[in-house]
Structure 1
Amino acid sequence: MAAEQKAPSILGFPHRPEWGAAAHRRALAGHLRRCRDYARIGPRQAARCIDASESTISRLETGLTALKPAEVERLLDEYGVRDPVERQRITALMQEAAKPEVWQPYAHAAPTTLRPLLAMEPAARRILSYEPQLVPGWLQTEEYAQIVIRATHPTLPAKEIADRVSLRVQRIGMLRRETDPPTLLAVMDSEVFRRPVGSPGVMYRQIKHLLALLEDLRFRLRLQIAPLSVGAAGAIGHPIVHLRFFAPEYLPDLVYLEQYEGAVYREKPSESERYQAVLNQLCGVASPVEQTPSLLQEALEAWR
């Protein structure tokens, strides 16, 4: 006889304010779905429980809709979740989920398509990225970021460009936090250092900034450079970011695919694994991490 299925628990997901509101909301959303499945209750019955539509239940269970405490309490009652410790943890996580997102101080400047990435990256254990055209956003200087943003959005007001720059350059702060900072593994195409962004002085200071970051964040930042000789492995025309989280049983991997005017997100395991394989291949053919400082020094001399 098959063993009885164990009731889902949220106790394995810690209350971690530094991970941001979105991580707590998504963890709770997935937990509500598992509790409903365990109770063998369909979306229609769950929707009736809170006087809502099935689409509302779908949005709740994917983290797209804010969690209302009264509705969650009624759903937990319907699903038979009685354990006071479980419910106490759920209450604490809901309070964290209700806090402002990390991008909200820059809401007028944060592109809508970028907000899910901004919201979730603080909860990442590892960020793996590939950038074929530019220095990755986390690693840009203010002047480099300003030129890039102005070139991409030439009609934006100066104030909005300045706010986007501030948002971009502050993201590196998560690598400096004391409690479980993410590790950033960034692969850049070698042509990034030959493509002028602003004056030679801008490029020189940007490369110096990268060297300083490698020294400052020695165990939290790993940077690889992919030369043209990697061939087809580097023939990817858009940036890719792959997030892996501290609590993967509650937060599945997230993939961000940047486009010129938008972005696509992938969360299905089959899709995230495919992009993980692509990025792993790039890491395998790019120059080793140990060679990066000398390669940056060579690039620095070219802009002197």
Structure 2
Amino acid sequence: MAADPKAPSILGFPHCPEWGAAAHRKALAGHLRRCRDHAGIAPRQAGRFIHVSEATVSRMENGQAALKPADVERLLDAYAVRDPQERARITDLVQEAAKPEVWQPYANAAPLTLRPLLAMEPAARRIISYEPQLVPGWLQTEEYAEIVIRAVHPTRPAREIAERVALRTQRIEMLRRAASPPVLLAVMDSEVFRRQVGTPGVMYRQIRHLLALLEELRYQLYLQIAPLTVGAAGAIGHPVVHLRFFTPQYLPDMVYLEQYEGAVYREKPSESERYQAILNNLCGVATPAAQTSALLEDALAAWR
């Protein structure tokens, strides 16, 4: 029997272990939903095929529930997905989705509200970040990160603080990987370099660290400084992270909005596009990335 040319395909989503388990699970979950829709099968009926509730099917299709290989095979049979290439790719994705998340080695220190961002950022093609108060987490030194984390969690034990520092500082490694590393465009408010975190020595070493990273990661890291003259464009008031993925047809843009006691995520196209426009406007009025090293050298002199 000839393949249905209108049937959904997952072949455009590659098997890339470096992207992490969450990206594979999320892409596969959306694909299963499209396959079910194409087959004209209701969620409740799909649940009967694998002996689960309609709510469980919904969680599976949103990437919020584990995808058991046997259940996926039965659903593919029910949805008449017979193409060997499609099923082979799905098998690969199911296996990848079952692996530990990137934050799991630091599970005791990874805040619940941050885990979705940590899980998905390795799969990003481009990350835009705005930080109005501090050096972005990816770019912090260990001593700077420890002071910031301890200020927010003054009663936490030293071991947990150390784990949180390790989790934060290892995130830069995704920019160093050989296979499809993300590009990070980080925008910081100019006041970040005037706000003393720790001693003057801590600030001096943090700024030297930024200069070293710009030299090392010159094709993966772009840093812009937003002076006070940007006015309302920089008055966002809280950190914002916008993720765009290599395969937008399978993984829609994600926006992370940090709050003092938590975070909010936005994935609807209308919402992610709005924040993309806000960040684009900010990048347009901030000092160009080509001038950042000179600005950092000036900031460094102030902390000698």
TM-score normalised per structure 2:
0.98
Matched residue, 1:141: 141
Q: Which amino acid in 1 is paired with 2:250?
A: Y
**Deviation at 1:302?**
0.8
Give the Cα–Cα distance (whole angstroms) in 1 for the partners of residues 185 and 206 of structure 2.
18
Matched residues in 2 for 1:182 and 1:252: separation? Answer: 16
Deviation track 1:243-297 (CA, whole Å, cap 9, x = no partner) reads: 0011111111111000101111111111100000000000001001111011111
| Partner Cα separation in structure 1 for residue 270 and residue 7 of structure 2 | 26
Aligned-pair identity (%) = 80
SS at match of 1:52: coil
> Shift of the alpha carbon at 1:5?
6.8
Runs of at least 5 residues in structure 1 that lack an aligned partner in the other structure: none
4+ long deviations beyond 4 Å? none
Q: Does 1:84 align with 2:84?
A: yes
Distance in 1 between the 2:300 and 2:196 partners?
Answer: 13
Cross-structure match for 1:241: 241
Q: 1:289 aligns to what?
A: 289
**How far apart, in 1, do the equivalents of 2:281 and 2:52 lie?**
46
How far is 1:73 from its partner? Answer: 1.0
Q: Distance in 1 between matches of 2:55 and 2:276?
A: 31
Instruction: Output one character per residue of 1:109-154: Cα deviation in whole Å (capped at 9) or x when no partner.
Output: 1111101100110000001000000000000000000000000110
Q: Equivalents in 1 of 2:148, 2:234: separation in Å?
A: 22
Partner of 2:156: 156
Aligned to 2:227: 227
CA RMSD of aligned residues (A): 0.9
Higher mean alpha-carbon deviation, 207-216 vs 66-75, is at: 66-75
How many matched pairs?
A: 301
For residue 71 of structure 2, what is the aligned residue in structure 1? 71
Q: CA deviation at 1:169?
A: 0.5
Q: Which amino acid aligns with 1:134?
A: L
Cα distance in 1 between the residues matched to 2:286 and 2:135: 16
Gaps of 5+ in 2: none
Tell me which residue corresponds to 2:103.
103
> What per-residue deviation string (whole Å, max 9, x for no partner) do you get for residues 196-252 of structure 1?
100000000000000000000001000000000000110011100000011111111
Alignment of 1:177-216 (within 5 A): 177-216=177-216
Per the alignment, residue 301 of structure 2 pairs with: 301
Matched, 1:165 2:165: yes
- 274 and 5 in structure 1: CA distance in 2 versus 1, 3 angstrom threshold: farther
Partner of 2:279: 279
For residue 161 of structure 2, give the secondary structure of its aligned residue in structure 1.
helix
For residues 103 and 276 of structure 2, the distance between their equivalents in structure 1, rounded to whole angstroms, comes to 26
